[in-house]
Amino acid sequence: MIEKVTSSPWFLRIVALAFAILLFTYVNNENNKQFSTNNLSGGATVNSSEMITDLPVIVNIDQEEYFVTGIPESVSILLEGSTAVLLNTLTTESFDIVTPDLNELGEGTFTIELIPAGLSSELEYSLYPSEVTITIQERASENYNVSVLFNENSLARGYEAGSPIVDTETVLIEGAASTLEQIANVQVRLTEDENINSDISETLPVIVTDLEGNQLNVEVTPSEVNVTIPVSSNNKDLPLALVQTGTPVEGYLYDLEFADGAETMANIVAEDSVLDSLTELQVPVDITGMTESSTVEISVPVPDDATSVLPETIEVEVTVTAEEEADNSNPDDEPEPPTNENSGSTSESSEESENSQESSEESESSETSESSSSSESSESSEQSSSESSQEDNSE
């Protein structure tokens, strides 16, 4: 009977259905447990927190009449609450950090609380800092010229700086009247690089300081200016002089010449005192071990205390000649120079000419003298005749 029942198809179907129902129930319970666990876990993360930094502070006051000091440049806030609300707040950035209405306070020093305006009431917050001490003063404004602070020691040796060029020479400074009275310097400071040898061009913030160099809390318009400083070099052109150096090979002679197209002048950059002391630039050419003529590239030396020299290299033709070849190139039958005999005859001729001239002068002197004597003698004779004639008449 039992075998007959268990072997019946309907029995098997009923047992299979029962197992199916049992399995369904088991799986359903497991899913419910998992769902409950997820709900419990989700409930723990509903509330979350987020720290936001670098939030600017909006000052609620008449900016044209008052100037406020003591407001921090930025604050931080910690937000806590519903994740959905927090995410929406972070996404929309729907709140600002502001001060209460300061117009009602007037001038003076006060401690105020900062407020996150526009923040959802479902979120809790903590501000850092939450309170600040401020000073409210009468606003004043004045125009100031901008000076340029530049250390000329930053220039490379042999270079000098021209006058700075500022695109905005005057800036508007606004702040508390008492603060403006402390202003001693309104300037821009150039970066102190080293060995500057080209024009300088930078965009720099305007810095306002008192006599002690402390930076003052003021508003500057514009806050940055463009500065250009022309940089030029002290330079001089000098001739190059080739100088043989090194140990020559025995039996060879050397001749140095500038190669075709090579520079024979050099431009030297240095201070005026250095340039004034230079008349030429010697270029050493090392001929050690050279037995054949060749064209060599030689570095042009930079003089002591100079910054640079151009060209940096030149080409030099080195002509190498064996001493035997140099001797053969001179013929033995070259005309001899004039001998000393010719020199002597020339000297004698010169002396004879001088003696002849002296004799001529003496002769002329003698003739003059004789002529003078003859004249005197004639006059004496005439005087005698006249006297004789007078005597005869008297008789």
The pLDDT assigned to 298 comes to: 93
3-class SS letters over 89-117: HHHHCCCEEECCCCCCCCCEEEEEECEEE
Rounded Cα–Cα distance for residues 156 and 154 (Å): 7
- Residue-wise pLDDT tens digits, 370-395: 333 333 333 433 333 334 333 333 33
- Residue-wise pLDDT tens digits, 267-304: 888 888 888 888 899 999 999 999 999 999 999 999 98
Rounded Cα–Cα distance for residues 174 and 65 (Å): 11
The pLDDT assigned to 101 comes to: 92
CA dist list (Å): 274 to 163, 268, 314: 24, 10, 23
Tokens representing residue 3 in the block: 């075998």
If we measure between CA atoms, which residue out of 110, 145, 140, 112 comes closest to residue 127? 112
CB–CB of 227/165 below 8 Å? Answer: yes
Higher-scoring residue by pLDDT: 60, 36 = 60
- Residue-wise pLDDT tens digits, 101-118: 999 888 899 999 999 999
- Residue-wise pLDDT tens digits, 72-90: 989 999 999 999 888 888 8
The torsion angle over the Cα atoms of residues 286, 289, 291 and 292, rounded to 10 degrees, is -50
Mean pLDDT rounded to a whole number for the chain: 79
The third-level CATH classification (topology) of the domain covering 146-232 is: RNA Polymerase Alpha Subunit; Chain A, domain 2 (2.170.120)
Q: Which amino acid is at 385?
A: S
CATH number for 47-138: choose from 2.170.120.30, 3.50.50.60, 3.10.580.10, 3.90.1150.10: 2.170.120.30
Tell me the three state secondary structure of residue 213.
coil
Q: Which helix (H) or strand (E) holds 128?
A: strand 123-128
Q: What are the start and end residues of each CATH 2.170.120.40 domain in the chain?
A: 146-232, 235-328
Block residue for tokens 């400083």: 229
- Residue-wise pLDDT tens digits, 230-275: 988 788 899 999 999 999 998 999 999 999 988 999 988 888 888 8
From the CB of residue 100, how many other CB atoms can be counted at a distance below 10 Å?
14
The pLDDT assigned to 328 comes to: 61
What percentage of the chain reaches a pLDDT higher than 90? 46
- What is the average pLDDT across 310-334? 76
The pLDDT assigned to 384 comes to: 38
Q: What are the start and end residues of each CATH 2.170.120.30 domain in the chain?
A: 47-138
The third-level CATH classification (topology) of the domain covering 235-328 is: RNA Polymerase Alpha Subunit; Chain A, domain 2 (2.170.120)
